[in-house]
Amino acid sequence: MDFNRNTKKETFIPTSSMGDIAFLLLIFFMVTTIFREESGLPVELPRAEAGEEVNRELVSNIYINRVGQISIDDRLVQIKHITDIIGQKISENPQLVVAFKTDTYANYGLVSDVMEELKEVNAVRVFFNNDIESQPGHKF
């Protein structure tokens, strides 16, 4: 005699509308979520003004190519002479602007060393440009 009763009932969950329910929940949370801007430090950035043209006599160009050659005003120099040359130019004209142009593939260590040399002579008016006209094969 088998007295065991089958007490388990099979439950059936309709899955035909499961996608609709998930989609409605997604829309509900998207609509009710409050989007807030990330709070950070308040910074007021300066507005760009029209660039003013600088007299060529006030500009000294430093070029560094991909093989590590350094040129100041179209003269090849070694890194140890940069402080002497730029220091003399700044003493002659304190308004000197140094245009620092490097090849895209120049060694950044060398670029950093040249920047340190410029700091030593207090060359604070420096602008950087890596768009040398004849890249990638620029010659001095």
Domains located in the chain, CATH noted: 56-129 (3.30.420.270)
In angstroms, how far is the first alpha carbon of the chain from the final one? 106
pTM of the predicted model as reported, rounded to 2 decimal places: 0.56
| Cα distance between residue 56 and residue 98, in whole Å | 11
pLDDT of amino acid 82: 92
Go through 118-138 and write b for each residue having 16 or more CB atoms within 10 A of its CB, e for each that does not. Answer: beebebebbeeeeebeeeeee
Listed residue (53, 44, 75) closest to 62, CA to CA: 75
pLDDT of amino acid 27: 92
Q: Other CB atoms closer than 10 Å to residue 81's CB: what's the count?
A: 13
User: What 3-state class would DSSP assign to 126?
Assistant: strand
pLDDT in tens, 18-59: 888 899 999 998 888 877 776 666 766 666 566 667 677 788
